[in-house]
Amino acid sequence: MVKKEAPKIETERLILRPRAEKDIPNMLKMFNSDEVREFLGINPPRDEHSMVEMVRNRTETKWTVALKDTDEFIGDVMIPEIAEGYLGEIGYRFMREHWGSGFAYEAVSAVIEHCKSTLNFKRLFATIENKIIPSKKLIEKLGFTLVAVLPESHLQGRVADVAYYSRIV
């Protein structure tokens, strides 16, 4: 049985495509950045073996985000949780040097459109540690509405105040 992979999606400056082994050096760089790791939950992967497993664990809702002109990995967007083909959780990570460049907005916007047009989702949600203001601003700019702030909640294996956002697709 052939495993489904994320379809290629192009934007003005980016290509969203399935993960590939050529992405591993930049994946290692991203996952080993202290600034990025702060937001990745408990025990995020940091070795090459873990990156190889991530690359092999392709699904139709996990994309590498690469620069269109060089195909260089700069981050990823994923929908790790899907409920009944109706509701999906959206997540994203980017290399520190690409924060604030508009790439996250561009990539996540493209995935939202894919969720609407191809996956036929009705709603997306995002859970963000409440203190991560830039990520909250991004998700609000993308049309998500704050539903609740859950104090001392489970977030990726640790306890944190969690902002729960939702939007109709």
- How far is Cα 68 from Cα 13, in angstroms, rounded to an integer? 5
Average pLDDT over residues 34-40: 83
Domain boundaries of the chain, sorted by first residue: 9-168
* φ/ψ of residue 46, rounded to 5: -145, 0
Q: Would you place residue 102 in the very low, low, confident or very high pLDDT band (cuts 50, 70, 90)?
A: very high
CATH class of 9-168: alpha beta
The span from the CA of 55 to the CA of 100, in Å, is 26
Distance CA 117, CA 17 (A): 17
pLDDT classification of 42: cutoffs 50, 70, 90 = low
Q: What pLDDT is attached to residue 24?
A: 95
Which residues pair with residue 94 across a beta bridge? 75
pLDDT at 1 over 60: no
Mean pLDDT for the chain overall: 92
Q: What is the pLDDT of residue 154?
A: 85
pLDDT recorded at residue 81: 83
Split at pLDDT 50, 70, 90, the class of 130 is: very high
The pLDDT tens digits for 55-95 are 998 889 999 999 999 999 999 999 988 888 889 999 999 99
